[in-house]
Amino acid sequence: MKSKLSCFILFSIVSTLPFTVSAAEPGEASLTLSMMKITDESLDVLAGTGVTIDDSDTVTNITGGFYVSPNLSLEAGIITGAEVSASVSDGDSGTLYGKTYSVSGTISITAKTDPSYLFGVKYSSPESGPLSVYGKGGMLFWNVSYIASASGTVTYDGTAYSGSSSLTFHSADGSDPYFGWGMSYAIGKDNSINFDYMLSEVNDTDISGYGFSWVRNF
């Protein structure tokens, strides 16, 4: 429902704009509002018989840019938090982030990422019409927590956790490079719609996402 509402609002905004193309000038700024469908492989290590994994989520991204040339801009933004989860069956055991675990009962493990921040650059191809392509790269700063909701006994790294409760058994923060590329279609003098793909890492596991965005130049 949220995705459909966002698409309707975005369409309503852009459908009222004039269809003329204007290249950005050095010193101008931009605002990008995005929705992305991401895939986070952090819990895929648990894959096996009796394990159900939901490794995708939808996030929003707000990015501000500053043009240093008509084709090159500096960018900074924030990506909302995301959650992926895995349901682990009774008797399962293995290794998670270098430490052993075993389950007696039922357990749901959630990888919860706080809002992440990105700083980077974006290069767009010279405009010869409304359609252009671009590439971007920079650093992603993240913070992630791993939460176990259990009914029974979960043993992680030699420590047993019993009862029906939720607890954070591991957390990490850091930064990793990100890369992306996409296609932009100008829908007005200072407006465009972007479709792009992005990939990075969080806590040594791959994340990727694709989505669309509205870009406004000032």
pLDDT in tens, 66-91: 999 999 999 999 999 999 999 877 67
Q: Give the residue-averaged pLDDT of 10-34.
A: 66
Q: How far is CA 172 from CA 6, 141, 203, in A?
A: 32, 11, 7
Query: Is 92 within 8 Å of 45 (Cβ atoms)?
Result: no
Token representation of residue 217: 């130049």
> What digits encode the pLDDT tens for the residues 138-196?
999 999 999 988 777 777 888 877 666 678 888 999 999 999 999 999 998 889 999 99
Token representation of residue 127: 């405009």
Whether domain 2-217 has CATH 2.40.160.20? yes
The pTM assigned to this predicted structure is: 0.79
List residues bridging with 108 in a β-sheet. Answer: 87, 149
